[in-house]
Structure 1
Amino acid sequence: MSTLYLILVSYDIADPRRLRRVARTLEAVGDRLQKSVFECGLTPAGLQALRLRLRRIIDPAEDHILIQPVCRHCRRDMGWQGKPPSAACEPFWIV
């Protein structure tokens, strides 16, 4: 069994069609935390595949995607102000 890593993905996509495609791609692999922020549990191979899929969708001259790994120590220190996401978004798969 491969280790899953917590990855935060946020994006700003200029075109509505590409925006929907990026959102659908991320919904398939992670949990939406905010409108353009996802939390994903991915293997290294899964992360590489996601990067490739997103690269094929976006226009690099207009769009921006931030893919940020989060270590388990940093995850413990993360906190929410305001309404936190649902418990379903909790990354129970971090080991």
Structure 2
Amino acid sequence: MFYLVSYDIPETRRRTKLAKILEDFGDRVQYSVFECILDEKLLGKMIKRIQEIIIAEDDSIRIYSICAGCEKRIEVMGKGKVSKIENIYVI
């Protein structure tokens, strides 16, 4: 499943920690926006790690699930591209 994760965290140290967590799960497409292609298990792991560092009263993290039909209709204007699953072959 394709997920869009955005965040607004006022404290620099927590914001940096969150960005590093999200880099483990997806691609940064804007300063505080990541595209992630995850199964349910990875989504759960990502959410658990996020919950360990955020302060709910101060921070805002949004995780949007994008269905396959909607994913095909994503339009990028300017530089950048939509994250895709890369085919990897090990020989």
- 1:34 has 2:51 as partner: no
Partner residue of 1:17? 13
Q: Identify the residue that residue 80 of structure 1 maps to in structure 2.
A: 76
Cα RMSD, aligned residues only: 1.3
1:91: how far off?
1.2
Q: Judge conservation of contact 1:10–1:66 (CA < 8 Å) in 2.
A: yes
Is 1:63 equivalent to 2:45 in the alignment? Answer: no
TM-score (norm 2): 0.88
Deviations 1:26-54 (A, max 9, x none): 01110000000000111101101111110
Aligned-pair identity (%): 37
Structure 1 regions of 5+ residues with no counterpart? none
Is 1:91–2:84 an aligned residue pair?
Answer: yes
Equivalent AA in structure 2 for residue 56 of structure 1: E
Give every structure 1 segment of 4 or more consecutive aligned residues whose post-TM-superposition deviation is greater than 3 Å. Answer: none
CA contact (8 A) 2:27 2:35 kept: yes
